[in-house]
Amino acid sequence: MLEQRIFAEAAHAFSRAGEPFLEARALAHGALAAAVKTEKGYRPSPADIKEAYGGAADRFHLAAILAPNERLATRCHTVAGDCFVRADMLVEAAKEYEKGREYEKSAVSYRKAGSFEDAVRIVQGHRSDVQDETATKIIEVSKVQFAR
């Protein structure tokens, strides 16, 4: 509770200071703290976890859009991808990882989501950023899927 209030207070201060990125980032971290609390609560439903982490991911995505430089935007996209994975929203995670230049995580998320064409596209387009073992697995699984 205290942690969430601190993030809200920080967001308010950044808003008053005219810092939209810092405000968005504070709200995103507050949403992530709330999602972790939800997950660790007493028997949370999968829908509750999905909603909490999905909301946090959306806030990190907004922060990435508002980021003043590429490094911060990339980091926010990556954290959004991590949140989408926790929400079991794998296609959304893959898209955020791709924007965050985490190409291996993007390809794996696309594969797990059943989006084999996108997984292969990532592997072929960013071969040096995907480990050989991961690339081989994705290509082999995709070949089997395309043969069906």
pLDDT in tens, 43-93: 999 999 999 999 999 999 999 999 999 999 999 999 999 999 999 999 999
Hey, CA dihedral for 121, 124, 129, 134, is it positive or negative?
A: positive
d(CA 49, CA 24): 21
Per-residue three-class SS string for 120-138: HHHHHHCHHHCCHHHHHHH
The stretch 128-137 carries a mean pLDDT of 94
**CA 1 from centroid of its chain's CA atoms:** 24
> Is 60 exceeded by the pLDDT of residue 103?
yes
The pLDDT of residue 116: 93
* Structure confidence at residue 148 as a pLDDT band (50, 70, 90): low
Per cent of the chain over pLDDT 90 is 89
* Burial zone of 97 (CB within 10 Å; 0-12 exposed, 13-18 middle, 19+ buried): buried
Residue 3 is predicted with a pLDDT of 65
For 69, the token pair is 């430089």
Q: What distance in Å separates the CA atoms of residue 43 and residue 106, rounded to the nearest whole number?
A: 30
**pLDDT per residue over 105-127, tens digit each?**
999 999 999 999 999 999 999 99
Q: Which two tokens stand for residue 108?
A: 């794996």
Q: What confidence score (pLDDT) does residue 115 get? A: 95
Q: Which amino acid is at 127?
A: R
Average pLDDT over residues 8-14: 94
State the average pLDDT for the chain: 94
Residue 133 identity? E
Distance CA 124, CA 134 (A): 12
Q: Would you state the pLDDT for residue 96?
A: 98
